[in-house]
């Protein structure tokens, strides 16, 4: 499995299963009005850290978009956080791929540091209460039945 390594400055262990998801407020590529993670309490959220130069990140985005389109109406959100990049570069990338989920900008890398990410792509599944259920390092085929079924169970109120 290929993925790009990103070394953060934190020496503490990464945010993982059972951790409270660190809150953030980040602008999207479409608006300076921030999206605030805690505003999404009550929804299941996949938080994805990525970069435009990361080929595995690009490769997983179509499946992420299919997952988002299928499950968003049922209470699922997907927040793709571009780390350390210029808005115009990220916007062109997003437009080229035609993804419909929110693409956020972590230009100063503060959110990536708070979440202690160390690779791209890296995704964390957060439950309705704001607890991290899983950390995924490397690309995934997000619309595969195993991921769709797990998120559906969470949306239906079943535990992990």
pLDDT tens profile 18-75: 889 999 999 999 887 899 999 999 999 999 999 999 999 999 999 999 999 999 999 9
Q: What is the largest CA-CA distance in the chain?
A: 40
Q: What is the spatial distance between Cα 75 and Cα 45, in angstroms, rounded to a whole number?
A: 9
Question: Band of the pLDDT at 12, cuts 50, 70, 90?
Answer: low
pTM comes to 0.90
Examine the pLDDT at 13 and tell me if it is beyond 70. Answer: no
Examine the pLDDT at 114 and tell me if it is beyond 80. Answer: yes
| Token digits of residue 134 | 């899983």
Q: What is the spatial distance between Cα 11 and Cα 8, in angstroms, rounded to a whole number?
A: 8
Cβ of 147: how many Cβ atoms within 10 Å?
Answer: 21
* The 3-state secondary structure of 66-123, one letter per residue: HHHHHHHHHCEEEEEEEECCCHHHHHHHHHHHCCCCCEEEECCCHHHHHCCCCEECEE
Q: Where are the domains positioned within the chain?
A: 19-36+43-153
* CATH 3.30.70.1530 for the 19-36+43-153 domain, yes or no: no
Q: What is the spatial distance between Cα 62 and Cα 98, in angstroms, rounded to a whole number?
A: 8
């Amino acid at each position: 499995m290929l993925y790009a390594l990103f070394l953060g400055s934190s020496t503490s262990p990464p945010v993982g299963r059972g951790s409270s998801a660190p809150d953030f407020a980040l602008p999207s590529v479409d608006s300076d009005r921030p999206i605030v993670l805690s505003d999404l309490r009550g929804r299941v959220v996949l938080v994805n850290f990525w970069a435009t130069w990361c080929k595995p990140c690009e490769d997983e985005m179509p499946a992420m978009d299919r997952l988002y389109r299928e499950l968003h109406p049922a209470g699922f959100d997907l927040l793709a956080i571009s780390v350390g990049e210029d808005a115009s570069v990220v916007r062109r990338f997003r437009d080229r791929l035609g993804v419909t989920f929110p693409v956020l900008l972590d230009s100063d890398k503060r959110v990536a540091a708070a979440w202690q990410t160390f690779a791209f792509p890296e995704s964390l599944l957060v439950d309705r209460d704001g607890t991290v259920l899983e950390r995924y390092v490397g690309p995934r085929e997000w619309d595969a039945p195993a991921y769709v079924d797990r998120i559906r169970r969470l949306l239906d109120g079943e535990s992990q």
